[in-house]
Structure 1
Protein backbone atom coordinates (compact mmCIF):
# COMPACT_ATOMS: atom_id res chain seq x y z
CA UNK A 1 0.00 0.00 0.00
CA UNK A 2 2.80 2.42 0.89
CA UNK A 3 4.54 1.71 -2.43
CA UNK A 4 1.41 2.51 -4.42
CA UNK A 5 0.92 5.73 -2.43
CA UNK A 6 4.55 6.73 -3.08
CA UNK A 7 4.07 6.04 -6.81
CA UNK A 8 1.05 8.39 -6.96
CA UNK A 9 2.91 11.07 -5.03
CA UNK A 10 5.95 10.77 -7.32
CA UNK A 11 3.66 11.09 -10.36
CA UNK A 12 2.07 14.18 -8.84
CA UNK A 13 5.45 15.78 -8.18
CA UNK A 14 6.42 15.19 -11.83
CA UNK A 15 3.30 17.11 -12.84
CA UNK A 16 4.07 19.84 -10.35
CA UNK A 17 1.17 19.08 -8.05
CA UNK A 18 -0.06 16.63 -5.49
CA UNK A 19 -1.69 13.57 -7.07
CA UNK A 20 -3.56 12.72 -3.88
CA UNK A 21 -4.88 14.81 -1.03
CA UNK A 22 -2.72 12.82 1.37
CA UNK A 23 0.49 14.24 -0.08
CA UNK A 24 -0.48 17.71 1.08
CA UNK A 25 -2.15 16.39 4.21
CA UNK A 26 1.01 14.78 5.52
CA UNK A 27 2.69 18.04 6.40
CA UNK A 28 -0.38 20.14 7.07
CA UNK A 29 -4.05 19.69 7.85
CA UNK A 30 -4.92 22.85 5.98
CA UNK A 31 -4.49 23.71 2.33
CA UNK A 32 -6.12 25.68 -0.45
CA UNK A 33 -8.24 23.05 -2.13
CA UNK A 34 -10.55 22.86 -5.08
CA UNK A 35 -13.86 21.02 -4.82
CA UNK A 36 -15.04 18.94 -7.75
CA UNK A 37 -17.79 20.61 -9.80
CA UNK A 38 -20.01 19.28 -12.58
CA UNK A 39 -21.92 21.56 -14.95
CA UNK A 40 -24.94 20.41 -16.93
CA UNK A 41 -27.64 22.01 -19.07
CA UNK A 42 -31.33 21.48 -19.77
CA UNK A 43 -33.63 23.43 -22.06
CA UNK A 44 -34.50 25.86 -19.26
CA UNK A 45 -31.41 26.15 -17.06
CA UNK A 46 -27.80 25.29 -16.29
CA UNK A 47 -26.79 23.42 -13.12
CA UNK A 48 -23.53 23.57 -11.21
CA UNK A 49 -23.11 20.76 -8.69
CA UNK A 50 -20.11 21.03 -6.37
CA UNK A 51 -19.03 18.35 -3.88
CA UNK A 52 -18.76 20.12 -0.53
CA UNK A 53 -18.90 17.39 2.09
CA UNK A 54 -18.22 18.62 5.63
CA UNK A 55 -18.66 22.27 4.58
CA UNK A 56 -21.29 24.05 6.69
CA UNK A 57 -23.92 26.09 4.85
CA UNK A 58 -22.79 29.19 6.80
CA UNK A 59 -19.28 28.74 5.36
CA UNK A 60 -20.42 28.87 1.70
CA UNK A 61 -20.70 32.10 -0.31
CA UNK A 62 -22.03 32.28 -3.87
CA UNK A 63 -21.81 35.57 -5.78
CA UNK A 64 -22.12 36.88 -9.33
CA UNK A 65 -20.08 39.80 -10.63
CA UNK A 66 -19.65 40.91 -14.24
CA UNK A 67 -20.80 37.64 -15.75
CA UNK A 68 -18.75 35.37 -13.48
CA UNK A 69 -20.21 33.18 -10.72
CA UNK A 70 -17.88 32.50 -7.79
CA UNK A 71 -18.30 29.87 -5.11
CA UNK A 72 -16.16 30.45 -2.00
CA UNK A 73 -16.05 28.69 1.30
CA UNK A 74 -14.14 26.92 3.98
CA UNK A 75 -14.00 23.35 5.22
CA UNK A 76 -13.03 23.59 8.85
CA UNK A 77 -11.01 20.95 10.65
CA UNK A 78 -13.19 19.75 13.50
CA UNK A 79 -11.83 20.08 17.01
CA UNK A 80 -10.18 16.86 17.96
CA UNK A 81 -9.66 15.55 21.44
CA UNK A 82 -6.24 14.24 22.46
CA UNK A 83 -7.72 10.74 22.83
CA UNK A 84 -8.01 10.23 19.08
CA UNK A 85 -4.82 9.57 17.11
CA UNK A 86 -4.99 9.93 13.34
CA UNK A 87 -2.61 7.94 11.18
CA UNK A 88 -3.64 9.64 7.98
CA UNK A 89 -5.90 12.52 6.97
CA UNK A 90 -6.69 12.57 3.26
CA UNK A 91 -9.35 15.27 3.28
CA UNK A 92 -8.39 18.82 2.45
CA UNK A 93 -9.34 21.52 4.92
CA UNK A 94 -9.20 25.26 4.52
CA UNK A 95 -10.55 27.78 2.06
CA UNK A 96 -11.58 27.23 -1.56
CA UNK A 97 -12.69 29.28 -4.53
CA UNK A 98 -14.23 28.18 -7.83
CA UNK A 99 -15.25 30.64 -10.56
CA UNK A 100 -17.12 30.04 -13.81
CA UNK A 101 -17.94 32.41 -16.66
CA UNK A 102 -21.68 32.52 -17.20
CA UNK A 103 -23.19 31.96 -20.64
CA UNK A 104 -24.88 35.04 -22.11
CA UNK A 105 -28.36 33.51 -21.76
CA UNK A 106 -28.31 33.19 -17.93
CA UNK A 107 -30.81 35.32 -16.00
CA UNK A 108 -28.49 36.51 -13.21
CA UNK A 109 -31.42 37.87 -11.16
CA UNK A 110 -32.99 34.40 -10.71
CA UNK A 111 -29.97 32.26 -9.71
CA UNK A 112 -30.66 29.92 -6.78
CA UNK A 113 -28.28 27.83 -4.64
CA UNK A 114 -28.99 24.97 -2.23
CA UNK A 115 -26.60 23.12 0.08
CA UNK A 116 -27.82 19.62 0.93
CA UNK A 117 -26.22 16.28 1.80
CA UNK A 118 -22.65 17.46 1.17
CA UNK A 119 -23.39 18.98 -2.23
CA UNK A 120 -24.02 22.52 -3.42
CA UNK A 121 -26.44 22.83 -6.33
CA UNK A 122 -26.60 26.17 -8.14
CA UNK A 123 -29.49 26.57 -10.58
CA UNK A 124 -28.91 29.14 -13.34
CA UNK A 125 -32.16 29.83 -15.22
CA UNK A 126 -31.93 30.78 -18.87
CA UNK A 127 -33.50 33.98 -20.13
CA UNK A 128 -36.34 33.75 -22.60
CA UNK A 129 -34.95 33.64 -26.07
CA UNK A 130 -36.62 36.18 -28.26
CA UNK A 131 -37.53 34.80 -31.61
CA UNK A 132 -36.29 36.94 -34.45
CA UNK A 133 -39.03 38.79 -36.23
CA UNK A 134 -38.80 40.84 -39.37
CA UNK A 135 -39.04 44.61 -38.98
CA UNK A 136 -40.08 46.63 -41.99
CA UNK A 137 -38.08 49.82 -42.46
CA UNK A 138 -39.68 52.53 -44.53
CA UNK A 139 -37.49 53.90 -47.30
CA UNK A 140 -37.87 57.64 -48.04
Structure 2
Protein backbone atom coordinates (compact mmCIF):
# COMPACT_ATOMS: atom_id res chain seq x y z
CA UNK A 1 0.00 0.00 0.00
CA UNK A 2 1.45 3.34 -1.05
CA UNK A 3 0.12 6.19 1.10
CA UNK A 4 1.10 9.81 0.64
CA UNK A 5 1.73 11.54 3.96
CA UNK A 6 0.60 15.09 4.53
CA UNK A 7 2.05 17.57 7.00
CA UNK A 8 -0.64 18.39 9.56
CA UNK A 9 -0.67 21.48 11.71
CA UNK A 10 -3.36 21.61 14.38
CA UNK A 11 -3.85 25.37 14.15
CA UNK A 12 -4.73 25.24 10.46
CA UNK A 13 -7.57 23.56 8.67
CA UNK A 14 -5.87 23.68 5.24
CA UNK A 15 -2.78 21.53 4.72
CA UNK A 16 0.57 23.15 4.11
CA UNK A 17 0.84 21.34 0.79
CA UNK A 18 -2.44 22.90 -0.38
CA UNK A 19 -1.24 26.39 0.50
CA UNK A 20 2.13 25.73 -1.05
CA UNK A 21 0.53 24.56 -4.31
CA UNK A 22 -1.76 27.60 -4.31
CA UNK A 23 1.23 29.92 -3.85
CA UNK A 24 3.06 28.24 -6.75
CA UNK A 25 0.02 28.70 -8.99
CA UNK A 26 -0.27 32.38 -8.10
CA UNK A 27 3.47 32.87 -8.64
CA UNK A 28 3.27 31.27 -12.09
CA UNK A 29 0.21 33.36 -12.95
CA UNK A 30 2.03 36.51 -11.82
CA UNK A 31 5.08 35.63 -13.90
CA UNK A 32 2.94 34.82 -16.96
CA UNK A 33 1.28 38.24 -16.80
CA UNK A 34 4.24 40.46 -15.93
CA UNK A 35 7.34 38.78 -17.37
CA UNK A 36 8.41 40.20 -20.73
CA UNK A 37 8.41 37.78 -23.65
CA UNK A 38 12.09 36.89 -23.79
CA UNK A 39 13.65 33.56 -24.59
CA UNK A 40 14.58 33.16 -20.91
CA UNK A 41 10.99 33.82 -19.85
CA UNK A 42 9.69 31.21 -22.25
CA UNK A 43 11.72 28.43 -20.63
CA UNK A 44 9.89 26.22 -18.20
CA UNK A 45 10.33 27.22 -14.58
CA UNK A 46 9.80 24.83 -11.71
CA UNK A 47 9.20 27.45 -9.05
CA UNK A 48 9.29 31.16 -8.32
CA UNK A 49 11.26 32.11 -5.21
CA UNK A 50 9.74 34.79 -2.97
CA UNK A 51 11.06 38.27 -3.61
CA UNK A 52 10.99 41.70 -1.94
CA UNK A 53 11.54 44.99 -3.75
CA UNK A 54 12.45 48.01 -1.64
CA UNK A 55 13.23 51.57 -2.62
CA UNK A 56 15.66 53.90 -0.86
CA UNK A 57 16.61 57.45 -1.83
CA UNK A 58 19.48 56.20 -3.99
CA UNK A 59 18.73 52.53 -4.84
CA UNK A 60 16.20 49.85 -5.57
CA UNK A 61 16.98 46.72 -3.55
CA UNK A 62 15.76 43.29 -4.66
CA UNK A 63 15.97 40.46 -2.09
CA UNK A 64 15.30 36.94 -3.30
CA UNK A 65 15.01 33.95 -0.94
CA UNK A 66 16.99 31.08 -2.46
CA UNK A 67 18.25 29.07 0.53
CA UNK A 68 20.51 26.11 -0.06
CA UNK A 69 21.68 27.27 -3.47
CA UNK A 70 25.29 27.84 -4.38
CA UNK A 71 26.42 31.18 -5.75
CA UNK A 72 27.55 29.41 -8.93
CA UNK A 73 23.97 28.33 -9.68
CA UNK A 74 22.62 31.90 -9.54
CA UNK A 75 22.78 34.32 -12.48
CA UNK A 76 21.98 38.04 -12.48
CA UNK A 77 21.95 40.05 -15.69
CA UNK A 78 20.54 43.22 -17.18
CA UNK A 79 18.84 43.15 -20.56
CA UNK A 80 17.66 46.57 -21.66
CA UNK A 81 15.49 47.85 -18.82
CA UNK A 82 15.00 44.40 -17.27
CA UNK A 83 16.81 42.85 -14.34
CA UNK A 84 16.78 39.09 -14.91
CA UNK A 85 17.59 36.60 -12.15
CA UNK A 86 17.78 32.89 -12.95
CA UNK A 87 19.01 29.86 -11.11
CA UNK A 88 18.63 26.18 -10.50
CA UNK A 89 18.89 23.71 -7.68
CA UNK A 90 19.28 20.00 -8.29
CA UNK A 91 17.02 17.58 -6.53
CA UNK A 92 18.71 15.93 -3.56
CA UNK A 93 17.57 12.60 -2.21
CA UNK A 94 19.11 10.39 0.39
CA UNK A 95 17.98 7.24 -1.37
CA UNK A 96 17.27 6.59 -5.02
CA UNK A 97 14.32 4.37 -4.24
CA UNK A 98 10.78 5.59 -3.94
CA UNK A 99 9.18 8.98 -3.65
CA UNK A 100 9.68 11.37 -0.75
CA UNK A 101 6.71 11.27 1.60
CA UNK A 102 6.87 14.99 2.25
CA UNK A 103 8.74 17.36 -0.04
CA UNK A 104 8.52 21.07 0.75
CA UNK A 105 11.88 22.21 -0.59
CA UNK A 106 11.96 23.79 -4.02
CA UNK A 107 14.17 22.33 -6.69
CA UNK A 108 14.66 22.85 -10.38
CA UNK A 109 14.87 26.07 -12.41
CA UNK A 110 13.54 29.51 -11.58
CA UNK A 111 13.28 32.80 -13.45
CA UNK A 112 12.49 36.30 -12.14
CA UNK A 113 12.40 39.50 -14.16
CA UNK A 114 11.72 43.08 -13.10
CA UNK A 115 11.57 46.20 -15.21
CA UNK A 116 13.23 49.48 -14.21
CA UNK A 117 12.54 51.76 -17.22
CA UNK A 118 15.31 54.33 -17.60
CA UNK A 119 15.69 54.86 -13.88
CA UNK A 120 18.92 53.00 -13.15
CA UNK A 121 22.67 53.09 -13.62
CA UNK A 122 23.28 49.63 -15.09
CA UNK A 123 27.07 49.77 -14.75
CA UNK A 124 26.84 50.14 -10.96
CA UNK A 125 24.45 47.26 -10.16
CA UNK A 126 25.80 44.99 -7.40
CA UNK A 127 24.70 41.55 -6.20
CA UNK A 128 25.61 39.62 -3.04
CA UNK A 129 24.51 36.19 -1.82
CA UNK A 130 24.59 35.50 1.91
CA UNK A 131 22.61 33.24 4.26
CA UNK A 132 20.29 32.02 1.50
CA UNK A 133 19.29 35.50 0.34
CA UNK A 134 20.38 37.02 -2.98
CA UNK A 135 20.38 40.81 -2.74
CA UNK A 136 20.73 43.04 -5.78
CA UNK A 137 21.29 46.78 -5.38
CA UNK A 138 20.22 48.81 -8.40
CA UNK A 139 21.39 52.44 -8.21
CA UNK A 140 18.94 55.04 -9.40
CA UNK A 141 20.04 57.29 -12.24
CA UNK A 142 20.89 60.82 -11.17
CA UNK A 143 17.73 62.83 -11.38
CA UNK A 144 17.71 66.17 -13.12
CA UNK A 145 17.57 68.98 -10.60
CA UNK A 146 14.48 71.11 -10.49
CA UNK A 147 14.80 74.35 -12.37
CA UNK A 148 12.48 77.32 -12.16
CA UNK A 149 11.18 78.44 -15.55
CA UNK A 150 10.90 82.17 -16.11
CA UNK A 151 7.61 83.26 -17.59
CA UNK A 152 8.43 85.61 -20.47
CA UNK A 153 6.23 88.32 -21.87
CA UNK A 154 4.34 87.38 -24.99
CA UNK A 155 6.46 89.34 -27.49
CA UNK A 156 9.78 87.66 -26.74
CA UNK A 157 8.60 84.10 -26.29
CA UNK A 158 8.71 81.10 -28.57
CA UNK A 159 4.92 81.08 -28.56
CA UNK A 160 4.65 84.61 -29.96
CA UNK A 161 7.07 83.70 -32.74
CA UNK A 162 5.13 80.55 -33.49
CA UNK A 163 1.76 82.29 -33.34
CA UNK A 164 3.13 85.20 -35.39
CA UNK A 165 4.09 82.80 -38.18
CA UNK A 166 0.65 81.24 -38.08
CA UNK A 167 -0.94 84.69 -38.39
CA UNK A 168 1.39 85.54 -41.31
CA UNK A 169 0.37 82.34 -43.14
CA UNK A 170 -3.30 83.11 -42.58
CA UNK A 171 -2.81 86.61 -44.00
CA UNK A 172 -1.00 85.19 -47.06
CA UNK A 173 -3.83 82.74 -47.70
CA UNK A 174 -6.44 85.47 -47.35
CA UNK A 175 -4.63 87.69 -49.86
TM range (shorter): 0.7 to 0.9
TM-score by length of 2: 0.59
SS of residue in 1 equivalent to 2:15: helix
- Cα distance change of structure 1 residues 112 and 88 upon mapping to structure 2, 3 Å threshold: same
Provide the aligned length of Structure 1 versus Structure 2: 123
TM-score by length of 1: 0.72
Instruction: Tell whether 2:11 aligns with 1:5.
Output: no
How far off its partner does 1:87 sit? 2.8
Tell me the residue number matched to 1:19. 22
How far off its partner does 1:86 sit? 4.5
Instruction: Tell whether 2:69 aligns with 1:69.
Output: no
CA contact (8 A) 1:75 1:95 kept: yes
CA RMSD of aligned residues (A): 3.2
How far off its partner does 1:4 sit? 3.5
Gaps of 5+ in 2: 1-7, 25-44, 151-155, 162-175
Gaps of 5+ in 1: 22-30
Tell me the residue number matched to 1:42. 56
Cα deviation code 1:18-47 (max 9, x no counterpart): 2267xxxxxxxxx70000000001101110
SS of residue in 2 equivalent to 1:130: coil
- Cα distance change of structure 1 residues 4 and 132 upon mapping to structure 2, 3 Å threshold: closer
How far off its partner does 1:65 sit? 0.5
Of Structure 1 and Structure 2, which has the larger fraction of its residues in helix?
Answer: 2
- Segment drifting more, 74-83 vs 60-69: 74-83
- Cα distance change of structure 1 residues 121 and 133 upon mapping to structure 2, 3 Å threshold: same
